[in-house]
Structure 1
Amino acid sequence: MKDNYKIILFDGVCNLCNGAITFIIKRDKKNSFKFAALQSEIGQQLISKFNIDTQKVDSIILIDGEKYYEKSSAALHISKELSGAYPLLFGFMVVPKFIRNSVYDYIAKNRFKWFGKKESCMIPTAELKAKFL
């Protein structure tokens, strides 16, 4: 396992977010990512370190070294690292951020209504534990 991984923070009680994390894990052939729920201790430490306002961003955040990406920018930067044709999605970065984030915010606002919510954060299987912080 390499040491210079990127960290994906996600809403641990969101079914859509958990599904997205499972999707990413299956396509992360280069082991680029580690994962942590926003609600976890490490998630809270990183939110504090980067001074992220979770009232405005409460779904997926990508931390890459000393930078972080949120909303659609996080999703597109993540897609760049995945196997298959998913890196092509990074081309959507040319779409102005306010348009990309409007679509992202609409989905994020409705995610619990559409996909439901868990009572607690996902517990990774033994083989996946190494991918979680």
Structure 2
Amino acid sequence: MPAAPATILFDGVCNLCNGFVQFIIRHDAAGRFRFAALQSAGGQALLTANGLVAPAEPETVLLVEDGQIYTHSTAVLRIARGLGGGWRGLAAVGGLLPRRWRDALYRFVARHRYRWFGRQQACMLPTPALAGRFL
């Protein structure tokens, strides 16, 4: 029996986050991941089902996988590992750094992401071909 797809919750108005989702889609030929903007009804429902509430200003991507929730750099590394190939190796190297350092770098980028990459007025809408991968 195949494993259920892992779900990535992301800031739907963040250009960096949307670029990250597009990157994952391009490199996830197996369709291992599905997606939900934190601001969407599907994202809100998934958060509620896991006892979480979305902050007004999301600061991290969340990965819901096998009943566990991963945040910050750990979520990104687990996503990279799930993409396989060279991304798995890169995740292994990144995992050698102390989590405290990884998360500090993650939070630094997160604090500046709107200034550096911009933001949208509304969450992105998936194409009809990708709609099945979004909650």
- Identity %, equivalent residues: 38
Letter in 2 for 1:34: R
C-alpha displacement of 1:79: 0.2
RMSD: 1.7
C-alpha displacement of 1:54: 4.1
1:17/1:59 contact within 8 Å kept = no
1:102 aligns with one of 101, 104, 125: 104
| Whole-Å separation in 2 of the counterparts to 1:76 and 1:53 | 23
Q: Quick check: 1:24 aligned with 2:20? A: no
Aligned to 1:50: 50
1:12/1:38 contact within 8 Å kept = yes
C-alpha displacement of 1:83: 4.5
Aligned to 1:68: 69
Gaps in structure 2 of 5+ consecutive residues: none
Deviations 1:95-125 (A, max 9, x none): 2111100000000000000000000000111
Aligned residues: 132
Where does structure 1 differ by over 6 angstroms across 4 or more consecutive aligned residues? none
Letter in 1 for 2:67: E
1:57/1:71 contact within 8 Å kept = no
C-alpha displacement of 1:51: 3.1
Aligned to 2:122: 120
2:8/2:35 contact within 8 Å kept = yes
Letter in 2 for 1:22: Q
| Whole-Å separation in 1 of the counterparts to 2:97 and 2:84 | 23
| Whole-Å separation in 2 of the counterparts to 1:13 and 1:57 | 10
C-alpha displacement of 1:19: 0.2
- SS of aligned partner of 2:8: strand
TM-score calculated relative to the size of structure 1? 0.91
2:44/2:54 contact within 8 Å kept = no
Aligned to 1:11: 11
Trace 1:85-96 onto structure 2 (pairs within 5 A): 85-91=86-92, 92-96=94-98
